[in-house]
């Protein structure tokens, strides 16, 4: 049976969203159909407002509704540390974890020659600019723990080669906390072995 047109159309659009398949799109469309009309009006408006009122921060590349973003303009953040991430999603995850209070720089892509991908033009220049203009003394390269992330990490490091006073670091790899050795893959186990922490007998 062909579903009624307006229903089919919404499902088709919802299915383009990440992680949404036929069945979940159908459940969502149903929910909206059964919810009070105010909900769909609000939702429609929120989608339109997102594109209209949001942009990326001209300094760091974060998602924002003002220039500069509320991280770059926050006087309480530590301006000596700069965390370099591949995408805004990574920035948000680190922020949500609440484990960092310095500044960020969003590269906006990865280096991945096999997929023909590279960092957007001017991305590394923007980073160097931010370091030179600010009081940055450490750059933490927080790229994702996979091949493209490693290549991106090396691209960032080589762009910063001249800056000998700058401390450079990357996130450590190892067993995910709360996970189990049984389910860890061998590459992770290898990393956990290689970068094992030596402890004194007293601990």
**Which CB sits closer to its own copies, 38 or 116?**
38
Angle at 55 between CA 52 and CA 57, to 5 degrees: 160
Separation between Cα atoms, residue 169 and residue 93, nearest integer Å: 19
Angle at 8 between CA 5 and CA 11, to 5 degrees: 150
Cβ within 8 Å of residue 6, ≥6 positions away: none
Q: Does 41 bind its own copies (CB under 8 A)?
A: yes
Q: Does 169 bind its own copies (CB under 8 A)?
A: no
Q: Containing H/E element for 127?
A: helix 123-133
Q: Does 78 bind its own copies (CB under 8 A)?
A: no
Stretch that binds its own copies, among 40-48, 162-170, 172-180, 195-203 (CB under 8 A): 40-48
Return the residue of 30, 147, 157, 173 that touches its own copies, per CB under 8 A: 30
Stretch that binds its own copies, among 27-35, 138-146, 149-157, 170-178 (CB under 8 A): 27-35
Q: Does 15 bind its own copies (CB under 8 A)?
A: no
Is the peptide bond between 68 and the residue preceding it cis, with omega within 30 degrees of 0?
A: yes
Torsion angle of alpha carbons 171, 176, 178, 183, nearest 10°? Answer: 180
CB of residue 64 to its own copies, shortest distance in Å: 5
Helices 123-133 and 147-159: crossing angle in degrees, nearest 10, is 50
Return the residue of 76, 79, 83, 89 that touches its own copies, per CB under 8 A: 89
Return the residue of 15, 20, 117, 170 that touches its own copies, per CB under 8 A: 20
Stretch that binds its own copies, among 20-28, 132-140, 148-156, 173-181 (CB under 8 A): 20-28
Q: Does 58 bind its own copies (CB under 8 A)?
A: no
Query: By three-state DSSP, how is residue 160 classified?
Result: coil
**Which CB sits closer to its own copies, 84 or 160?**
84
Backbone phi, psi, residue 56, to 5° = -105, 145
Q: Which residues bind its own copies (CB under 8 A)?
A: 1-7, 9-10, 13-14, 16-20, 24, 26-33, 35, 37, 39-54, 63-66, 69-71, 88-89, 92, 95-96
């Amino acid at each position: 049976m062909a579903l009624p047109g307006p229903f089919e159309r919404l499902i088709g659009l919802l299915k383009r969203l990440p992680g949404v398949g036929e069945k979940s799109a159908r459940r969502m469309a149903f929910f909206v159909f059964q919810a009070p009309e105010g909900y769909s009006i609000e939702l429609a408006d929120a989608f339109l407002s997102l594109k209209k009122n949001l942009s990326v921060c001209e300094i760091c590349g974060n998602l924002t509704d003002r220039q500069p973003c509320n991280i770059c303009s926050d006087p309480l953040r530590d301006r000596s540390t700069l965390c370099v991430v591949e995408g805004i999603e990574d920035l948000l995850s680190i922020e949500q974890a609440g484990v960092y209070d310095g500044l960020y720089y969003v590269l906006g892509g990865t280096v991945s020659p096999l997929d023909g991908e590279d960092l957007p033009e001017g991305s590394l220049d923007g980073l160097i600019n931010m370091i030179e203009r600010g009081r940055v003394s450490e750059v933490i390269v927080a790229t994702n723990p996979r091949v493209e992330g490693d290549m991106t990490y090396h691209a960032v490091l080589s762009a910063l080669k001249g800056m000998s006073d700058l401390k450079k670091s990357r996130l450590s790899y190892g067993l995910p906390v709360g996970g189990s050795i049984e389910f860890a893959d061998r590459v992770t186990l290898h990393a956990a072995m290689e970068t094992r922490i030596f402890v004194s007998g007293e601990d």
